[in-house]
Chains A and B, each alone.
Chain A
Amino acid sequence: MITPPRLAERLLIRRLRGDVWGETTLGDLREEFADIATREGRAAAKRWYWRETFRLLFPAPPPQPDGPRSRKDSLMRTLFSEARLATRALWRQPPVSLAIIVTLAVGLGLNAATFGMMDALLLRPFAIPSIDRLVVLSELSASEPFPQESVAPGSYLDLKRHSAGAITRMTTVSWWDVNLSGGDRPERLQGSRVGADFFSMPRPHTR
């Protein structure tokens, strides 16, 4: 004997438990399923059974009687009603639903990835003790309107001498790109040149 989809029938048994018409409904569905399976084939009958299951699980809201209606509905009622309508709309138009779901998934994924990156790079403070006391000094000149990260050695020594008491420790760092040769192939390396007291500066903690 051809039987309806087991999962769908279980869902219905659960949904119709305690309903005086539950057994009749389940019996009717079985009977109609067998009839459709004989006439149109098993696949069509299964599709039909799932549609009916869906209709019974998410019935359309009853029509509102005429006359003055309550202006206010409970929040949960509204939420359930909205969710039910949305589910029915999605079920009715599978291609549109698929497009919406894929768009949402891609959008959410991109947002999550972007946020993860921003969170790691910008929002979380660097694990350096007393980071609020850390400053980067740069030079400005009349001929160069933009701050210069490179400071002339003489200027650095002047700054160090005159800022005693205002700045606890001071060191120098400058970009240093070099070509490493001597091996099979020369290699371009990126590095920094640092002052002698660089390594006595506060260092980030390992997370």
Chain B
Amino acid sequence: MFRPVPPVGEFEHLLLLAVLQCRQDDIEAYTVPIRQLLVEKTGRTVARGAVHTSLDRLEAKGLLASTMGEPLAIRGGRARRYYDVTPLGLQAVRQAQSAVLTMSAGLAPILDRRT
């Protein structure tokens, strides 16, 4: 059944890219590395709550899928929730990337300027 690709906000876009980055680097994508990637790569302060809310929203939109892991001693007996980007999520990322590229086409002289 055809399902329209839901639009994603800027933070959601970054979050999807972070999950993909984890997959690319062979790292399990759960809240800790996802947030660390966002902080390191964007240089922003990222609140835990913002990550949790957006992960919930992306899952509800069908762009992410999650599975619960086993309880771990290092987490005080708590389990991790692992995320992966769904095919629909991948389409959403492509669409968002394409929109950014289309909108920024021809703006290199302005965007590359230092001042």
Question: Which of A's residues lie within 8 Å of B, judged by CB?
Answer: 1, 3, 21, 23-28, 30-32, 34, 55-56, 59-60
Contact = CB atoms under 8 A, between A and B. Distances in A.
Contact of B78 (A1, A26, A34, A59): A26
23 contacts: A1-B73, A21-B48, A24-B31, A24-B52, A24-B78, A24-B80, A25-B48, A25-B52, A26-B75, A26-B78, A27-B72, A27-B78, A28-B31, A28-B75, A30-B78, A31-B32, A31-B74, A32-B32, A34-B74, A55-B47, A59-B47, A59-B49, A60-B47
Interface residues of B, number: 16
B76 A26 contact: yes
Interface string B57-101: 000000000000000111110111100000000000000000000
Contacts, number: 44
A50 to B, nearest CB: 16
Given A24-B80, A34-B74, 17 more contacts: A1-B74, A21-B49, A23-B78, A24-B78, A25-B48, A26-B75, A27-B72, A27-B75, A27-B78, A30-B74, A30-B76, A31-B32, A31-B72, A31-B74, A32-B32, A56-B48, A59-B49
- Judged by DSSP, the binding face of B is helix
Nearest to A56: B48
Contacts of B31: 24, 28
Contacts of B76: 3, 26-27, 30
Given A24-B31, A24-B81, A30 B48 contact: no
Query: In the complex, which of the residues A26, A31, A55, A59 has the most CB atoms of chain B within 10 Å of its own CB atom?
Result: A31
Contact of B80 (A21, A27, A32, A60): A27
Contacts of A21: 48-49, 52
A59 B50 CA distance: 11
A87 to B, nearest CB: 17
Contacts of B73: 1
Contacts of B78: 23-24, 26-27, 30
B75 A31 contact: yes
Contacts of B32: 28, 31-32
A31 B75 CA distance: 5
A27 B72 CA distance: 9
A27 B52 CA distance: 13
